């Protein structure tokens, strides 16, 4: 006898507006004991102010599942396209620190 729960197939409806997506290059994260709030914003060089373009509120369990999914997908991406470099991260061959010659 198989006591394994059956997987449920979920169909998602993606509207035309949502399919366009929203560009964000900054995420602000806050939390309470019951929820995480993710604010997605866009920083524009030279402008001192930014605007939140989307806010997503999730349970801690959903955020943890998202984190695991992101880790898996980043690993897949990097195995195909190479390491994602972060701003301010030293590049190979780049000299850092004090040098004497």
Please write the tens of the pLDDT for every residue from 31-49.
999 999 999 999 998 998 9
- What is the span of the domain harbouring residue 50? 23-81
Q: Are 66 and 47 in contact (CB under 8 A)?
A: no
Question: What is the residue whose two structure tokens read 């806050």?
Answer: 30
Query: Is the per-residue pLDDT at 22 higher than 70?
Result: yes
25 DSSP assignment: S
Instruction: Report yes or no on 88 lying in a domain.
Output: no
Residue 25 contacts by C-beta under 8 Å, 6 or more apart in sequence? 41, 42, 43
Instruction: Report yes or no on 16 lying in a domain.
Output: no
Instruction: Report yes or no on 76 lying in a domain.
Output: yes
What domain count does the chain have? Answer: 1
Instruction: Report yes or no on 59 lying in a domain.
Output: yes
| pTM of the full structure | 0.72
């Amino acid at each position: 006898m198989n006591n394994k729960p059956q997987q449920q197939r979920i169909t998602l409806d993606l509207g035309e507006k949502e399919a366009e997506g929203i560009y964000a290059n900054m995420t602000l994260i806050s939390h309470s004991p019951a929820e995480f709030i993710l604010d997605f914003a866009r920083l524009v060089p030279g402008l001192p102010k930014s605007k939140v373009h989307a806010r997503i509120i999730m349970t801690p369990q959903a955020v943890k599942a998202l984190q695991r999914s992101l880790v898996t997908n980043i690993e897949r991406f990097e195995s195909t396209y190479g390491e994602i470099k972060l701003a301010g991260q030293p590049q190979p061959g780049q000299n850092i620190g004090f040098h004497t010659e």
